[in-house]
Amino acid sequence: MTDLIPVISGLSKKTDSKIVLVVLDGVGGLPMSPGGPTELEAAKTPFLDALAAQSQLGQLELVGPGITPGSGPGHLSLFGYDPLTYTVGRGALSAVGIGVKLNAGDVAVRGNFATLGEGRTVLDRRAGRPTTEKNEEIVAKLRAAIHEIDSTPVEIYTESEHRFVVVFRAGSTPLGAHISDVDPQVTGVPPRDAQAGDEASQKTANLVNEFVKRAEATLSAEPQVNGVLFRGYSDVPHFPQFSDVYKLSAACIAGYPMYKGLASLVGMNVLDVDSVEDAPEGKLDALRREWDNYDFFFFHVKKTDSTGEDGNFDAKVGKIELFDSVLPQILDLNPDVLCVVGDHSTPSRLASHSWHPVPVLIHSKYGRSDAAERFTETEAVKGSLGLRPGTALMPLLMANALKLEKYGA
């Protein structure tokens, strides 16, 4: 990918036009059997279909051919930041997203509560997706048992459901964040030991391994939430700010802390949202309430990803249909540019993220005619946008909103 940020920052201009970027997390899919439909193809989406017939469609590769994006790199790519240049671990995104201030030298780690069986074998990497209330109960137990390791202060926070965050606070010597994952990302095997990738990270790896040991001892009587898995270590990242690059006043409408953290790191204002993911009214209320105050809205929908990770094809279809049912409320605001896209594919067939390109739809007054008739993977292949890198999206949205000056004489 080419880093377009220096170019775009010199071309962008402030206008009154408004852009709405809807990210249906993990929306790309696969047929469950040869010749069958993907989740998007199986879903009844009359409003998305009507919009697609009036829009430009195509596909995006968020990182590169054959590379499976994590949610952080996927979103950075959509925001125009080359994820191979601008890197950040999941831990920092989650920590910032729940309002934890990170200082230079600290390391934040994203954790999953897990279910361990005999021989510490991982039976469920998400511990059956416990409620956030159960998460808070478990975090309270861990806080009582683990608040310092080897004179290093340790802070533990609930994120959501099975997710939690640990922050190791640095003293006079910064902690390194180049550490291997404890999470094996498969079941049927034990958690891995954290390994340091460089000398500066050895102390952090030791801290992580000791935390895992103490956490398992503390949770040994729990029938389901009795283990912890770590991945996504990160120190404090710094990015060019969205307002400087695009001259946009940008707002984030999201429920999950990680996405709030990512938006905050690039300089978006994170709006207060009274919402749960299965009831999008709170997000729509925030969009309507703040419509006059911003010219760019990042509107995130999570459950299209969660259901795919659970391997639940029908549930993912239902989440797509739920979004379709509220799409008219977004269209009623008459945005100058509306984009619907995924940050990666999460096929129910794989029950995980995948390398497949994601479909993208751009609706504006200035789009050329397009052969695509539905917002699906197959129809997106027919679209006039073709196959593009994820970092091309923001320049395309800016151009369709008439927010870019001409390049060169």
Q: Residues 199-257: pLDDT tens digits? A: 989 999 999 999 999 999 999 999 999 999 998 888 877 789 999 999 999 999 998 88
Residues 37-50 have pLDDT tens digits of 999 999 999 999 99
Q: Are 19 and 297 contacting, i.e. CB atoms less than 8 angstroms apart?
A: yes
Predicted pLDDT of residue 219 = 96
Rounded distance, CA 326 to CA 220, Å? 44
**What sign does the dihedral 323-325-327-333 (CA atoms) show?**
negative
Give the closest residue to 250 by CA, choosing from 48, 79, 382.
Answer: 79
**What sign does the dihedral 213-217-218-221 (CA atoms) show?**
positive
Dihedral (Cα; 338, 359, 255, 91), 10-degree rounding: -130
Two tokens, residue 136: 């808070």
Predicted pLDDT of residue 275 = 61
| Domains observed in the chain | 5-86+239-400 (3.40.720.10), 94-234 (3.30.70)
**What is the pTM assigned to this prediction?**
0.77
Predicted pLDDT of residue 366 = 93
Q: Are 233 and 177 contacting, i.e. CB atoms less than 8 angstroms apart?
A: yes
Rounded distance, CA 182 to CA 120, Å? 13
Helices 71-78, 90-97: axis angle to 10 degrees equals: 80
Buried b or exposed e, range 164-203, using 16+ CB within 10 angstroms:
bbbbbebeeebbbbbbbbbbeeeeeeebbebebeeeebbb
Question: Which residues have C-beta within 8 Å of that of residue 239, sequence separation ≥ 6?
Answer: 81, 86, 88, 265, 266, 267
With 0-12 / 13-18 / 19 or more C-beta atoms within 10 angstroms meaning exposed / middle / buried, residue 12 is buried
Predicted pLDDT of residue 375 = 97
Rounded distance, CA 156 to CA 179, Å? 19
Predicted pLDDT of residue 36 = 96
Give the closest residue to 311 by CA, choosing from 354, 344, 352.
Answer: 352
Rounded distance, CA 77 to CA 234, Å? 18
Consecutive sets of 10 residues in the chain, 409 residues long: mean pLDDT of each?
A: 85 97 97 96 97 96 95 94 86 82 88 95 94 94 95 93 93 89 94 94 96 97 95 83 96 89 88 74 93 97 93 96 96 98 97 97 92 95 96 97 94
